[in-house]
Copies of this chain bind each other. A is one copy, B any other.
Amino acid sequence: MSGGVEWAVHSCLNLFWAGPDPVSVRELAAYHELPTAYLNKRLQALCLAGVLSSRSGPRGGFQFARPADTVTVMDIVAAIEGPDNAFACQEIRRHGPDGGPPEKFPHECAVKQVFTAADLAWRRSLASRTVADIAAQAEQEAPGVGERVRAWFHRPA
């Protein structure tokens, strides 16, 4: 999986803790010492997916486009990795001596069914956790982290 997914999720957590005002990608990248421009590209994908919204100019930056408790991890992964299934079936059963046109195979490929079921389980698991959800768990395991993050993003220049 693309490593930038981790950056996106952590940045969403920081956005959640920082508060309602927009936060620039420069600040978000600085917090985890990440490449600024590349993180920007990922956040653009989240905007395109309707998870975040962006504003240009001074006092601009990124913010949630909808409440954080409606944003699932699956939403973030789908925005960055693409909505496609991880297993791309090439229908190789249709090639070779026992192959043929699509209408010859009324049932879906048994191999594909297995991977589709596994992917579904994976997606269900990721869809069951929201950003607000994870933030609460992190706060419980490391008390005060939310306030520390908020303080850092609101620090005087």
Contacts and interface: CB of A to CB of B under 8 A. Distances in A.
Interface of A: 1, 3, 5-7, 9-10, 13, 30-34, 73, 86-90, 92-93, 95-98, 105, 107, 110-111, 113-115, 117-119, 121-122, 124-126, 129, 134, 137-138, 141-142, 145, 148-149, 152
Is the contact region of chain A dominated by helix, strand, or loop, or is it mixed? helix
Q: Which 10 A-B pairs have the closest CB atoms?
A: A118-B125, A107-B141, A122-B122, A110-B138, A121-B121, A33-B95, A32-B92, A121-B125, A31-B96, A1-B86
Given A86-B1, A88-B1, A90-B3, A114 B31 contact: no
A142 B105 contact: yes
Contact of A6 (B9, B32, B89, B141): B89
22 contacts: A1-B87, A5-B87, A6-B111, A13-B111, A31-B96, A32-B95, A32-B96, A33-B92, A73-B114, A73-B115, A86-B86, A98-B145, A98-B148, A107-B141, A107-B142, A110-B134, A110-B141, A113-B137, A114-B134, A121-B124, A121-B125, A122-B122
